[in-house]
Amino acid sequence: MAVGLSRPDNIHPVNGVQLASVSAGIKNDHKPDLVLIEFEAGTVCAGVFTRNAFSAAPVTVAKKHLMQARPRALLINSGNANAGTGDQGLQDAEACCAMLASALSCSQDEVLPFSTGVIGEYLPMDKIEAAVPGLADRLAADAWLDAADAIMTTDTVAKACSSSVQIDGVEVTISGIAKGAGMIRPDMATMLAFIATDAAVSADWLQRSLESGVDVSFNRISVDGDTSTNDACMLAATGASGCRTLAGECDGSVRFQQALNEVLVQLAQAIVRDGEGATKFVTVRVESAASLDEASRVAYTVAHSPLVKTALFASDPNWGRILAAVGRAGVDDLDISAVGIYLGDVCIVSKGGRDPRYEESMGQAVMQQQELTIRIVLNRGSEQISVWTTDLSYDYVKINAEYRT
Amino acid sequence: MAVGLSRPDNIHPVNGVQLASVSAGIKNDHKPDLVLIEFEAGTVCAGVFTRNAFSAAPVTVAKKHLMQARPRALLINSGNANAGTGDQGLQDAEACCAMLASALSCSQDEVLPFSTGVIGEYLPMDKIEAAVPGLADRLAADAWLDAADAIMTTDTVAKACSSSVQIDGVEVTISGIAKGAGMIRPDMATMLAFIATDAAVSADWLQRSLESGVDVSFNRISVDGDTSTNDACMLAATGASGCRTLAGECDGSVRFQQALNEVLVQLAQAIVRDGEGATKFVTVRVESAASLDEASRVAYTVAHSPLVKTALFASDPNWGRILAAVGRAGVDDLDISAVGIYLGDVCIVSKGGRDPRYEESMGQAVMQQQELTIRIVLNRGSEQISVWTTDLSYDYVKINAEYRT
């Protein structure tokens, strides 16, 4: 029951990238759960990874391999996170890379492993070993949506998106897939995202472009405030479009960044729209803050508040809970008489209390919308931020209480 | 359905304190909702208040009056928080004090007002005005439990507790009541607590004793991580026991602090046991941390995690969620190979992954208990902390989604 999100279509192939998916039997339901994304030689890769101290074995191995070599292939499994698995987990992640390297005739450190699913179980290596050789035979340029399906866990709908942009007269494509529906928060989450482009971009500039884009997309979403051990977002640039190499600030790189951000924001919002048990897609916007840090603190305090989230689920304009969340966000010397709080365009709080023109029916009308904005104007400065979140429903509890049953 | 908590009995009267409750019709259900606690002349009072920037009108007025005079009476209403009510709210809170002052023949600033309930509605002043005069006639020394009933909102059971201690051969009594079941977190919450003793304590020492006690009781509990606009904890010392005045560190003041902490911890734990929708009472204990701050950060990250809380509700030993919460708590340079995580006495995580001796049935057995401890050993230093929390259930969502319907 994703909010305003349906299965994507028309995901454009990216020159120099092929994908394949199979069912290895890692998931219990025999759905596809193993994905290969292969890049042509010379492809440049950038990555952003979870900051969770208990980062999963594949994250550790992927970061190491990314420093050692230019990746030729990403191997992604769903159904098992290979996290909390100690030394055995590291050996298993390396062994997965070795198997695929053998099938593709590349070196082991040219393969990056990714896993998502239950934490704390060892990978079923026999099943993966049996499935890997078949992957190479299935490689196809138009298999993006199948890959998006195969990396899903609690997701209810596949997440994929394309964009294209002209750089010096050359058409460049950016396509990406993502998965994630819980454990979502800034600094990445149970989230995996794989984006590729046929633009040519230098390694340093690609990393900078990815970090800049993640900062306004995946780092702006929250479902439940939890952060997973496995989050990663990869961006590969094959250069196969034939455009000149982007390596610094220029008209072309600005256009590339805009198109990239469009893809990243759409994928990030898709994760929130498919948030576990979500019935609403909510933008929390904080304006005229003294610093980005305080804007962010206020926005996330509201976005994470279970009381605000249950009121959203009930379509109850219980604005007192928003006010209380703003009040406890830890903003120094907050002058509450200067704060304005809005539901959509309706002013609910001014001068430290309920706005005199506010009537319950006005807030009710906004709250009943599937997509709405909570806007908080601090009147302390010029910084602003928007973050995207969901409500907290019975189904969130159901999904997470019964996840392993 | 509070966890391991039944209606208290045997709350000891405190010499010099009388209480009264009536139904003023502020609550919709005609239950008692207005309480007077009266102190004899010479009583010394200490208070700890919410740090929420949008603190409610009664909090503002109570803090002001406490600085201006020695309180003779506390006037507490449930059913309406008088928060987010701007200037009108402040006038109303002052007017409540004036009404009671008139009935008791004391000055307006000798009355402290407290309110709890829905945010953002004005107090029904006509109902309060009609009910206040009748309060004085009902004053009784043994009415603690009635008062505990009357301050409840979403609480399912009254919270009250007594302790006594010998100071220099004189028996001193400490009794207290509290309310609160949601919006609970450190720095006080939708929580109100009123404690009185017949010990004689200097004003400064009483304030210090209260802050020290709150730090190990009400500041150690979490239901949903929200903090209300109305939290307050008051401690009154009448001196009527005839014991000598405690004004500094001595054998008597140590014993007094121990007895006070006992009352505060029991009331604080009662709030968690009656946490909205709670089916479990969970102690999160962090040991051998490098600082109290990091111990606290780890403990609250685990205690607030919706994924840990839903796993607790499901009695699912999904320890990966605990591990992931520890990992994202922001502890600098955490060596995960040194971290031990225990469910009760069962070691679940060692050396960065599942403990080799751990089996699912062992974790399951602990998880099925109504009361359990999650223990995290960081092996980085000598600081430790225990915080108390609950699970996240369907009923939490139900209670908070339907609160105003």
- How far apart are alpha carbons A184 and A219 in whole angstroms? 9
B237, pLDDT greater than 80: yes
Cβ <8 Å between B314 and A89? no
Length of chain B in terms of residues written: 405
SS (H, E, C) B53-82: CCCCHHHHHHHHHHHHCCCCEEEEEEEECC
Question: In this predicted structure, what is the pLDDT of residue A186?
Answer: 35
Phi first, then psi, for residue B180 (nearest 5°) are 145, 140
- Residue B242 carries which side chain, given as an amino acid letter? G
* Percent of chain A whose predicted confidence (pLDDT) is above 70: 95
Residue A285, phi then psi, degrees to nearest 5:
-115, 125
Kindly report the nearest CA distance between residue A119 and chain B, in angstroms: 5
Question: From the candidates A82, A226, A333, A343, which should be mutated to test the interface with B, based on the most B CB atoms within 10 A?
Answer: A226
Alpha-carbon distance B185 to A319, whole Å? 20
Number of CB atoms found within 10 A of residue B105's CB: 8
Q: Assess whether pLDDT exceeds 60 at residue B274.
A: yes
Facing A323 at nearest CB: one of B54, B324, B403: B54
B55 part of contact set with chain A, CB < 8 Å? yes
- pLDDT, one tens digit per residue, over B301-334 is 999 888 899 889 989 888 888 988 898 898 989 9
Q: What is the DSSP letter of A138?
A: T
Judge whether A243 and A168 are in contact, CB under 8 Å. yes
Whole-number pLDDT of residue A173:
96
pLDDT at residue A118, as a whole number: 81
* Closest C-alpha among B385, B388, B387, B389 to residue B288: B385
pLDDT band at A319 (very low <50, low <70, confident <90, very high): confident
Smallest CA–CA separation between B23 and chain A, in Å? 25
CA distances from B119 to A319, A362, B196, B400 (A): 8, 17, 28, 14
Name the residue in chain A with its Cα closest to that of B309: A401
pTM: 0.82
Query: Per mean pLDDT, which of A352-356, A401-405, B43-47 is the most reliable?
Result: B43-47
User: For residue B187, is pLDDT > 50?
Assistant: no
Q: Can you tell me the mean pLDDT for A89-112?
A: 97
Split at pLDDT 50, 70, 90, the class of A318 is confident
A379 touches chain B (CB under 8 A): no
Burial B363-399 (b: 16+ CB within 10 A, else e): beebbeeeebbbbbbbebeebbbbbbbbbbbbbbbbb
User: Is B342's pLDDT higher than 90?
Assistant: yes
- Tokens encoding A169: 């007269």
Give tens-digit pLDDT for A108-124: 999 999 999 888 889 99
Q: Is the dihedral of CA A212, A217, A218, A224 positive or negative?
A: positive
- Out of B227, B307, B400, name the one closest to residue A328 (CB): B227
CA dist list (Å): B383 to A53, B287, B295: 20, 6, 7
**pLDDT beyond 60 at B384:** yes
Residues of B in contact with A182 (CB under 8 A): 307
Quick count: other Cβ atoms within 10 Å of Cβ B87? Answer: 12
pLDDT at A25 exceeding the cut of 70: yes
- Whether the predicted interface score ipTM is above 0.85: no
State CA B370 to chain mean position distance. 21
Range 297-356 of A in CB contact (< 8 A) with B: 304-307, 310-311, 313-314, 316, 318-321, 323-328, 331, 334, 336, 349, 351-354
How many of the other CB atoms lie within 10 Å of CB of A382?
A: 9
Q: What is the mean pLDDT of residues A101-110?
A: 97
Nearest partner of A44 among A212, A205, A181, A180, judged by Cα: A205
The Cα of B101 is separated from the nearest Cα of chain A by a number of Å equal to 27
The residues of A carrying an active-site annotation are 190
Question: What value does the mean pLDDT of chain A take?
Answer: 90
CA dist., res. B325 & res. B327, Å (int): 5
Distance, in Å, from the CA atom of A192 to the CA atom of B292, rounded to the nearest integer, reads 34
CA atoms within 13 A on the CB side of B6: 2
Rounded CA-CA distance A202/A214 in Å is 18
Provide the pLDDT for residue B33. Answer: 96
Averaged pLDDT for residues B284-297: 95
Torsion sign over Cα A254, A43, A150, A147:
positive
pLDDT band at residue A187, thresholds of 50, 70 and 90?
Answer: very low
- On chain A, the residues whose CB falls within 8 A of the CB of B224 are 306-307
Residues of A numbered 110-139 whose beta carbons fall under 8 angstroms of chain B's beta carbons: which are they? 118-120
Spatial CA neighbour of B228 closest among B52, B57, B48, B61: B52
From chain B, pick out residues whose CB is under 8 angstroms from the CB of A360: none
Residue A1's pLDDT is 62
In Å, how far is A180's CA from the nearest CA of chain B?
Answer: 14
**Closest chain A residue to B302, measured at CA:** A226
Residue contact A306–B226, C-beta within 8 A: yes
Q: What's the whole-number average pLDDT of chain B?
A: 90
Question: Which of A51, A60, A119 best tests the B interface by mutation, with the highest count of B CBs <10 A?
Answer: A119
CB distance A323–B120 less than 8 Å? Answer: yes
Mean pLDDT is lowest, of A327-341, B91-105, B372-386, for A327-341
Longest dimension (CA), chain A: 72
Top mean pLDDT of A310-324, A351-365, A369-383 is at: A369-383
Q: What is the pLDDT of residues A35-83, one digit of tens each?
A: 999 999 999 999 998 888 888 999 999 999 999 999 999 999 999 999 8
**Within 10 Å of residue B359's Cβ, how many Cβ atoms?**
11
Q: Per the CB < 8 Å rule, is A228 touching B325?
A: no
B396·A336 Cβ contact <8 A: no
Catalytic residue among B85, B154, B190, B279: B190
> Quick one: what percent of chain B has pLDDT higher than 70?
95
Number of A–B residue contacts, CB under 8 Å: 208
Q: Exposure of A6 by Cβ count < 10 A (0-12 exposed, 13-18 middle, 19+ buried)? A: exposed
- Burial class of residue A218 in the structure, from the number of CB atoms within 10 Å of its CB (0-12 exposed, 13-18 middle, 19+ buried): buried
**A218 pLDDT more than 90:** no
What are the φ/ψ torsions at residue B287 (nearest 5 degrees)? -120, 160
Among A53, A81, A397, select the one facing B331 at the smallest CB separation.
A53
Contact in structure between B192 and B83 (CB atoms under 8 Å): no
pLDDT for res B340: 95
pLDDT of residue A345: 95
Please name the member of A310, A400, A402 whose beta carbon is closest to the beta carbon of B401: A310
The CA distance from A385 to the nearest CA of chain B, in Å, is 21
